[in-house]
């Protein structure tokens, strides 16, 4: 799979090619996406490829923030899961084309990952309870991500697999591929 947008920056860059384990969460029949064998359940912090509820033919990639039954809130650009604020350590402040970006290292259960917010964008606060059999997904580029805040929760049947590594980066057809970003996805 190739990353087409900046919604997962800084974790994934536009042009990254990723490896996805389609069997991490179970074995599914092709075309119907019916799960025939259960293996593992998605965990908070997993980076997942899936079909979003509003587009049945397009692959999306986001981070799992909420599991079935969780209450997920977003207030002043901070995530809360079941009333607990997700830990974030500010790492850097960087200028960008549309304002100043704050990069942070978030800790969600056992997962630790980089994320960013844009100081120029106003926070949009919300709170939602994740429905049974669904997952709440967000991009690591919080102010530049079309995710569950916009199109809703992802049903379990639309999960494709868990993204686990970047194997190549290729900006455009006219450039040379690079392997300097090879590594596991956190």
Tokens 């049947």 appear where? 157
- Give dist(CA 95, CA 93) in Å, integer: 7
Q: Which residues are catalytic?
A: 7, 62
- Residue 140 has a CB neighbour count (10 Å cut-off) of 25
| CA distances in angstroms from 150 to 29, 86, 104, 136, 143, listed in the order given | 29, 21, 23, 11, 12
| CA distances in angstroms from 154 to 23, 95, 106, 181, listed in the order given | 18, 33, 22, 29
- Residue 4 has a CB neighbour count (10 Å cut-off) of 13
Per the CB < 8 A criterion, the answer to whether 75 and 81 are in contact is no
Residue 24: is it exposed, middle or buried by C-beta count within 10 angstroms (0-12/13-18/19+)? Answer: middle
Q: Which of 50, 47, 49, 24 is nearest to 37 (CA)?
A: 24
């Amino acid at each position: 799979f190739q990353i087409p947008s900046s919604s997962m920056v800084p974790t994934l860059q536009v042009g990254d090619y990723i490896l996805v384990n389609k069997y991490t969460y179970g074995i599914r029949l092709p075309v119907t996406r019916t799960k025939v064998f259960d293996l593992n359940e998605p965990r908070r912090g997993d980076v997942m490829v899936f079909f979003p509820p509003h587009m049945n033919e397009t692959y999306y990639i986001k981070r799992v923030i909420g599991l079935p039954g969780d209450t997920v809130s977003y207030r002043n650009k901070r995530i809360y899961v079941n009333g607990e604020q997700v830990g974030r350590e500010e790492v850097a402040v960087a200028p960008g084309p549309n304002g100043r970006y704050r990069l942070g290292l978030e800790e969600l259960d056992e997962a630790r990952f980089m994320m960013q917010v844009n100081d120029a964008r106003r926070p949009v606060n919300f709170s939602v309870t994740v429905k049974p059999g669904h997952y709440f997904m967000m991009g690591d580029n919080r102010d530049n991500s079309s995710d569950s805040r916009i199109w809703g929760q992802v049903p379990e049947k639309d999960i494709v697999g868990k993204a686990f590594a970047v194997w190549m980066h290729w900006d455009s057809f006219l450039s040379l591929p690079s392997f300097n970003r090879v590594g596991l996805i956190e």
